[in-house]
Amino acid sequence: MQVADPTTVLDAEALAAYRRDGFHLAENWLAAELVQQLAAAATGILGQDSPRRIMERDGVTVRSVYGPHQTDPVVARTCRRAELAGAAMDIIGEPVYIHQSKINVKAAFVGDQWEWHQDYIYWLHDDGIHNPDLVNVAVFLDEVTEFNGPLTFVPGSHNEGVLAATEKQGPPMGYEDAPQWVSTLTADEKYQVRPDVIARLVRTNGMVSPKGPAGSVLFFHPNILHASSQNISPFGRTTLITVYNGVSNPATSTGNPRPEFLAARDATPVRINS
C-alpha cells in the first residue's frame, strides 16, 4: 500500500486505528438528510426484480442488491462524496474507482447470517485483483445494535493475509438453479475459513461488533476476518457498502469475468463531489 499524502478527510488517529485494527467506525459521519434520501432510494432499489437482486434462502426476503451506484442517482452521488471516496483515497493512498457496491439487508426476524470469511479472497480468485489494497465503506441506513445482526470482526486479523480456507463445491442449498457466481453471495460462504484458524485468531485478538446510529460509516479492510449473525430483532439493518479500489490495482480476470455489477472492469478514477 502506498503512503497517502496528508489526509483531507480522515485524521491521523483514524488512519492509525484502521491500519492497526483493520477497521474504523465514524459515528454520525453523514448528514441526516442524506441518510433519509439514501434510505428512500434503497426502498425503491430493493423492490426492483433484476439479476442484481439476491434473495434469502426463503425465496421471498431480499438479501442484497448489487451495483446500485450504476442505476440510482442518489447512490451514485453519495459514492462520489468526499466523506466516502475521499476517505477511501486517504486509506489506499491513490485515486480510487468503485469495484463493487451493494445494499445489504438484514430484514427484521428473518435476515440471515454471513459466515466467517474474508472479502479479498473472492476478489483475488474471481476477479484477478492482485493486491488487497481495497477498502469497504459501509453506510448504516438503520441503527446497528447487538440484536439486528451487526458485523463482527477479529481485530488485527487483516495482518495475517489470506487465511487458510476451504472452497465449497457446488451451488448452495436453495440456489441450485442460480448462475454460478451467485454462490459467492449467499449465507453459505464459498471460501470458508477453517474453524481452527478462526479459534486461534479469536483467542489471540478477541472479537468486536461496531455499532452506531444511522449515518455512521464503517471502513474495513478486505482481509479482516468477519461474520454476522441472523437478525433476531424486530428492527431491520440495511447498509450501503461501496468497495473502493486503487486505480493501479484493477481486476484482471477477462476469460470469464463476473457481471459488471459485481466486478467493475472500468477503473476510471472517482471524481469527488461535495
- The dihedrals phi and psi of 160, each to the nearest 5 degrees, come to -85, -5
The helix (run of H) or strand (run of E) holding residue 139 is strand 134-140
pLDDT classification of 6: cutoffs 50, 70, 90: very low
pLDDT classification of 113: cutoffs 50, 70, 90: very high
* Percentage of residues in the chain having pLDDT higher than 70: 89
Q: How confident is the model over 23-61, as pLDDT tens digits?
A: 999 999 999 999 999 999 999 999 999 999 999 988 899
* Domains of the chain as residue ranges with CATH: 12-246 (2.60.120.620)
What average pLDDT does the chain have?
91
d(CA 129, CA 251): 5
Q: How confident is the model over 121-175, as pLDDT tens digits?
A: 999 999 999 999 999 999 999 999 999 999 999 999 999 999 977 766 565 556 5
Is residue 117 pLDDT above 50, yes or no? yes
State the pTM of this model.
Answer: 0.92
**The C-alpha cell that represents 171 in the structure block:** 451451488
Three-class SS state of 84: helix
Q: If DSSP states are collapsed to H, E and C, what string results for 229-251? A: CCCCCCCCEEEEEEEEEECCCCC
The helix (run of H) or strand (run of E) holding residue 90 is helix 87-92
